[in-house]
């Protein structure tokens, strides 16, 4: 996720510092980005700079000091609350306000992260959809502590990197995951109850105008990720039955059939 964000920011003219604590990641990142740059030039709706220039705009580093004086920090580390809080607290001094802190978390509480920083009014969420460089949407997540000016600035910047934004109050699942839940969840229930088999269900949705059926989509996202997403909404809502995950998903994860990435989910993916 981090490389995709760095890439699209650089391609739209920003000077980017790409920080990762792990040297291996930092070594591999330029290659990964180079590979994706050309593809995004083809796909983008805003004019993008050529690959070489864009890549030159990114400084890769394992030193947090190199991030000093950044105007916008977009954090996309592993989805662990402690890690995110620790990173922002280390940056609190190095990047004083009016610098803005945005977390790219897809399911953690932005409010919890913000409240642990020294200036919570400058913290918000920027929820990029996968693949971050190409998907048009960014959810801007506002906490009770976020300043309006922070939201406006982030919205403006997201527009400059070619994203459409929606403003969402920090809440379980934000908008996209929360509303993916009934779609994927009811499809799972229909399968579990024997209303129809998964390929029939997918075909029904495709005929109704969906690009993919729900089971294709789950295989694509990864069943572990779908389950984690669903689980986090359920937990955050004090286990409201409305959001209860389906046991079928858990069984498939236990079996190691996680979707496309593991060669088998609801469908089989030979030689991938």
End-to-end CA distance of the chain: 21
SS3 248: helix
Q: How far is the CB of 166 from other proteins (least distance, A)?
A: 4
Question: Closest approach of Cβ 186 to other proteins, in Å?
Answer: 4
In the set 19, 107, 205, 215, which binds other proteins (CB under 8 A)?
205
Residue 126: φ, ψ to 5°: -125, 100
Q: Which of residues 247-266 bind other proteins (CB under 8 A)?
A: none
Q: Which is nearer to other proteins, 22 or 238 (CB)?
A: 238
Considering beta carbons, is residue 79 or 186 the nearer one to other proteins? Answer: 186
Contacts with 105 (C-beta within 8 Å, 6 or more apart), sequence order: 79, 84, 113, 125, 127
Q: Are 114 and 175 in contact (CB under 8 A)?
A: no
Residue of 210, 235, 257, 263 interacting with other proteins (CB under 8 A): 210
Residue 209 binding other proteins, by CB under 8 A: yes
Q: Which residues of 37-63 are buried (b: 16+ CB within 10 A; e: fewer)?
A: beebeeebeeebbebeebbebbebeee
DSSP 8-class letter at 211: S
Least Å from the CB of residue 65 to other proteins: 35
**Stretch of 21-29, 65-73, 102-110, 202-210 contacting other proteins, by CB under 8 A:** 202-210
**Looking only at residues 87 through 146 of this chain, which bind other proteins when binding is defined by CB under 8 A?**
129, 135-137, 139
> Which residues are 100's β-sheet partners?
72
212 contacts other proteins (rule: CB under 8 A)? yes
Restricted to residues 228-247, the positions that interact with other proteins (CB under 8 A) are: 240-244
Tokens 């976020």 sit on residue: 146
Min CB(39)–other proteins separation in Å: 19
The Cα 272–Cα 267 span in angstroms is 12
CB of 161 to other proteins, least distance (A): 15
Q: Which residues make Cβ contacts (< 8 Å) with residue 139, sequence separation at least 6?
A: 125, 126, 127, 165, 166, 168, 174, 175, 176
Residues 164-193 that bind other proteins (CB under 8 A): 164, 166-169, 171, 174-176, 178-183, 185-187, 190, 193
At its nearest, how many Å lie between other proteins and the CB of residue 190?
5
201 lies in the site for other proteins, by CB under 8 A: yes
- Cα distance between residue 257 and residue 209, in whole Å: 28
Shortest Cβ 22–other proteins spacing (Å): 29
The residues of the shown chain that bind other proteins, judged by CB under 8 A, are 129, 135-137, 139, 164, 166-169, 171, 174-176, 178-183, 185-187, 190, 193-196, 200-201, 203-205, 207-212, 214, 217, 240-244
């Amino acid at each position: 996720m981090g490389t995709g964000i760095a890439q699209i920011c650089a391609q739209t003219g920003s000077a980017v510092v790409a920080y990762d604590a792990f040297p291996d990641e930092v070594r591999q990142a330029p290659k990964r980005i180079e590979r994706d740059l050309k593809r995004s030039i083809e796909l983008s709706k805003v004019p993008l700079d050529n690959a070489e220039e864009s890549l030159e705009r990114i400084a890769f580093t394992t030193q947090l000091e190199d991030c000093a004086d950044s105007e916008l920090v977009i954090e996309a580390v592993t989805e662990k609350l402690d890690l995110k809080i620790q990173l922002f607290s280390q940056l609190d001094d190095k990047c004083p306000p009016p610098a803005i802190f945005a977390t790219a978390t897809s399911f953690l509480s932005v409010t919890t992260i913000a409240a642990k920083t020294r200036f919570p009014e400058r913290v918000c969420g920027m929820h990029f959809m996968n693949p971050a460089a190409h998907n048009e949407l960014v959810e801007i997540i506002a906490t009770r502590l976020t300043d309006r000016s922070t939201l406006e600035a982030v919205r403006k910047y997201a527009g400059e990197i070619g994203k459409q934004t929606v403003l969402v109050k920090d809440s379980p699942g934000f908008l996209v995951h929360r509303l993916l839940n009934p779609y994927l969840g009811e499809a799972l229930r229909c399968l579990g109850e024997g209303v129809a088999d998964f390929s029939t269900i997918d075909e029904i949705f495709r005929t109704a105008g969906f690009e993919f059926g729900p089971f294709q989509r789950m295989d694509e996202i990864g069943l572990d990720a779908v389950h984690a997403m669903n689980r986090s909404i359920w937990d955050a809502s004090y286990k409201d039955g409305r959001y209860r995950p389906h046991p079928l998903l858990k069984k498939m994860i236990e079996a190691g059939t996680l979707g496309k990435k593991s060669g088998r989910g609801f469908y089989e993916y030979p030689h991938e």
